[in-house]
C-alpha cells in the first residue's frame, strides 16, 4: 500500500509530463485500433459481398467502377447495356448462372435494385416478414432500410439522396429481409421490370430463361419451381419517350437517370393502374430494355480467364473480375493505412520517450527519497519495481484511454455510416489488436527500464551524506 501511495505522489508531482505521456500513448493506440478495425471490417465486408460472384458483365469503362457500383453499390455504373444483346453472352456454356441488375433510383440514399429472385437466393436472404414481390412496384427491403410492411414510397432520380421523386409511381413494401451482414441489408429490391417500366423501357420477356432463373446448373428445375410465380404473370404497360440508359453515368449528377422522361408521359390514373394490374397488358414502346449489369458465376476457374477475354475483345461490353479489382483497391487503400500505422507507431514511441525523459529527469530530484526508502528497508528489487510500475501506470492509463477513445470513434463512424451500411460491424478483438497492446506494454517497460536500474543502484550512504 505504501508503494502505491509513493507512486501516486510521484506521478502527481510531475502531472504535466505524465499527462503528455498518457495522451501521446492514447492517440497512438486509438489510431492503431481504428486502422486495425477498419481493415478487418472492410476486408470482411468485401469478401462477404463479393462471395460467389466471379465476373460482372456491364458497359465498357472502368472495371473497378463497374464492380463497386454493382456488387457493393457505392459508385455510379459506367452505363447500361441492351438486354437483348447481353443475354446472348449469358448463354455461354461456361456460365453457371447470371443475375441481372437494373439501377437508376434511390430512396433516401438506399438504392432501388431491379433484379431477379436469384439475387435474394445468392445472398441467402431470408424474409423476416411478408413475402417476395409478385407484381410490379412491389419491393422487399433490407434490414437497414427504414420502411415498414405495406408502406408506399416514391423512388427518386439518381443513385444518391437528393434527386427528384417519381411522383407518378409508388412502390409498395411487401417483405422485409432479416439482417444478413451483407450489402443486401441496405438495398430496396424489386423486379427488373419495375425499374424498366418507371423509366419508359420495354419489359423483359418473362418467359426468357435468361431472367427466371438465369441458371445453367442442375438446380434449374428446383429454381423454376421456386420462382414459378414470377413467370407469365407480369406483363406491363410501358410508355413512350424514354431515352437510352447508356447515358446514365453522365447524367446521374444532373438528376437524370435510366430512361428519364417527362412525368406527364408516365402519369397513370388510379383506374388505369388497377386495370393494368388485373389485365397485365403489355405494350411495346420500341424502347428496348436495358440493364446495368449481370452478376456472373462461372463453372470453372478457367472460365474466369477465358470469358473476360472473349467479352472484352468480341463484344461491346466488358467483363470485370471482382477479385482482381478488389485486390487493386485494397492495395491502394493499404498505402494509406500503412501511413497511419507508421503515425501510430511514432506517437507510441514519442510517448515512451516522454515517459523515459520524465522518469530520468525526475530521478535526480528523487534520489533522497529513494535513499530514504532503502534506509527503511526497501531492497534494490523493490525500488526497481516501483520505478517500473510508475512507467507502467502511465502506459496503462494511456492504453485504456486510447482503447476507449478508439472504440468510441469507431462506433460513432459506424452509426453515421450505418444508413448506408458500409460498415455496420461491432468492435472485434483481433490478433493484431492484441499485438498492439503487447507492443505498448513493452514500450512502457523499456522507457522505465533505465531509470529503474539507475534508481536501484543508489548508494544509500553517499546519498544520505549529501543530504546531511
Are 160 and 105 in contact by the 8 Å Cβ rule? The answer is no
CA dist 271 → 126, 268, 314 (Å):
34, 8, 48
DSSP 8-class letter at 174? E
Kindly report the number of other CB atoms within 10 A of residue 43's CB atom.
Answer: 13
Query: What's the confidence (pLDDT) of residue 207?
Result: 41
Q: What's this model's pTM, rounded to 2 decimal places? A: 0.62
Which element (helix H / strand E) includes 55?
Answer: strand 55-59
Q: What is the pLDDT of residue 444?
A: 77
Find out whether 97 and 54 touch, Cβ atoms under 8 Å: no
Give pLDDT < 70 ranges for the chain.
Answer: 1, 205-285, 332-341, 343, 361-369, 414-432, 459-468
Choosing from 320, 341, 367, the residue where a domain stops is: 320
The DSSP secondary-structure symbol of 389 reads H
Q: What is the extent of the structural domain holding 361?
A: 2-46+329-467
The reply to whether 239 and 261 lie within a common domain is: yes
Q: Per the structure, how many domains does the chain have?
A: 2
- Residue that finishes a domain, picked among 285, 320, 355: 320
pLDDT at 281: 41
Looking at the fold, whether 363 and 412 belong to one and the same domain comes out as: yes
Q: Are residues 223 and 288 in the same domain?
A: yes
Q: Which residues contact 314 (CB under 8 A, 6 or more apart)?
A: none
Last residue of a domain, one of 261, 286, 320: 320
pLDDT at 54: 93
Q: What is the DSSP letter of 187?
A: -
**Paired residues of 171 in beta bridges:** 153
63 and 39: one domain? no
Beta bridge mates, 376: none
Which residues in 245-301 belong to E strands, given as ranges?
A: 290-291, 293-298
How far is the C-alpha of 405 from the C-alpha of 118, rounded, in Å? 43
Same domain, 285 and 430: no
SS3 state of residue 181: coil
Radius of gyration of the chain (CA): 32
Same domain, 212 and 349: no
Q: What single-letter DSSP state applies at residue 421? A: T
Same domain as 372, residue 283: no
| Residue bearing cell 509530463 | 17
The whole-number pLDDT of residue 239 equals 37
Same domain, 166 and 303: yes
Q: Are residues 20 and 130 in the same domain?
A: no
Same domain (yes/no): 200, 125: yes
* DSSP 8-state code for residue 320: E
135 to each of 229, 230, 365, how far by Cα in Å?
A: 10, 8, 84
pLDDT of residue 339: 67
Give yes or no: residues 257 and 362 share one domain: no
pLDDT confidence of residue 413: 75
For 378, the 3-state DSSP assignment is coil
The residue to which cell 427504414 is assigned: 146
Distances (CA, A) of 200 to 64, 78, 262: 29, 20, 10
Q: Are residues 273 and 338 in the same domain?
A: no
Amino acid at each position: 500500500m505504501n508503494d502505491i501511495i509513493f507512486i501516486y505522489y510521484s506521478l502527481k508531482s510531475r502531472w504535466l509530463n505524465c499527462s503528455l505521456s498518457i495522451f501521446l500513448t492514447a492517440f497512438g493506440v486509438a489510431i492503431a485500433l481504428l486502422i486495425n478495425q477498419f481493415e478487418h471490417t472492410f476486408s470482411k465486408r468485401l469478401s462477404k459481398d463479393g462471395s460467389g460472384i466471379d465476373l460482372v458483365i456491364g458497359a465498357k469503362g472502368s472495371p473497378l467502377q463497374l464492380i463497386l457500383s454493382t456488387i457493393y453499390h457505392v459508385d455510379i455504373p459506367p452505363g447500361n447495356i441492351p438486354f437483348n444483346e447481353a443475354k446472348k453472352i449469358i448463354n455461354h456454356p461456361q456460365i453457371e448462372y447470371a443475375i441481372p441488375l437494373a439501377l437508376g433510383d434511390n430512396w433516401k440514399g438506399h438504392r432501388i435494385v431491379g433484379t431477379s429472385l436469384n439475387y435474394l437466393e445468392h445472398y441467402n436472404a431470408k424474409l423476416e416478414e411478408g413475402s417476395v414481390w409478385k407484381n410490379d412496384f412491389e419491393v422487399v427491403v433490407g434490414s437497414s432500410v427504414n420502411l415498414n410492411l405495406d408502406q408506399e414510397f416514391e423512388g427518386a432520380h439518381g443513385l444518391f439522396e437528393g434527386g427528384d421523386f417519381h411522383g407518378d409511381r409508388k412502390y409498395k413494401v411487401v417483405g422485409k429481409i432479416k439482417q444478413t451482414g451483407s450489402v443486401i441489408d441496405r438495398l430496396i429490391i424489386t423486379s427488373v421490370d419495375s425499374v424498366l417500366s418507371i423509366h419508359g423501357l420495354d419489359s423483359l420477356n418473362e418467359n426468357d430463361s435468361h431472367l427466371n432463373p438465369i441458371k445453367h446448373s442442375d438446380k434449374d428445375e428446383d429454381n423454376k419451381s421456386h420462382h414459378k410465380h414470377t413467370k407469365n404473370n407480369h406483363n406491363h404497360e410501358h410508355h413512350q419517350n424514354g431515352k437510352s440508359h447508356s447515358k446514365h453515368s453522365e447524367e446521374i449528377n444532373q438528376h437524370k437517370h435510366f430512361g428519364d422522361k417527362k412525368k406527364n408521359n408516365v402519369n397513370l390514373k388510379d383506374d388505369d393502374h388497377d386495370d393494368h394490374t388485373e389485365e397485365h397488358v403489355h405494350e411495346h414502346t420500341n424502347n428496348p430494355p436495358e440493364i446495368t449489369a449481370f452478376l456472373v458465376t462461372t463453372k470453372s476457374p478457367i472460365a474466369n480467364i477465358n470469358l473476360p477475354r472473349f467479352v472484352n475483345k468480341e463484344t461491346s461490353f466488358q467483363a470485370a473480375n471482382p477479385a482482381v479489382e478488389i485486390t487493386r483497391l485494397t492495395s491502394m487503400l493499404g498505402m494509406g493505412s500503412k501511413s497511419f500505422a507508421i503515425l501510430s507507431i511514432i506517437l507510441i514511441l514519442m510517448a515512451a520517450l516522454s515517459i523515459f525523459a520524465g522518469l530520468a529527469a525526475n530521478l535526480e530530484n528523487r534520489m533522497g527519497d529513494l535513499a530514504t526508502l532503502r534506509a527503511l528497508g526497501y531492497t534494490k528489487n523493490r525500488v526497481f519495481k516501483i520505478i517500473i510500475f510508475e512507467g507502467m501506470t502511465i502506459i496503462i492509463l494511456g492504453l485504456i484511454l486510447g482503447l476507449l477513445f478508439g472504440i468510441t470513434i469507431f462506433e460513432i463512424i459506424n452509426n453515421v455510416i450505418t444508413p448506408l451500411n458500409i460498415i455496420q460491424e461491432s468492435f472485434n478483438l483481433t490478433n493484431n489488436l492484441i499485438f498492439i497492446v503487447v507492443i505498448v506494454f513493452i514500450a512502457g517497460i523499456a522507457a522505465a527500464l533505465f531509470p529503474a536500474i539507475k534508481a536501484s543502484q543508489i548508494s544509500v550512504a553517499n546519498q544520505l551524506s549529501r543530504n546531511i
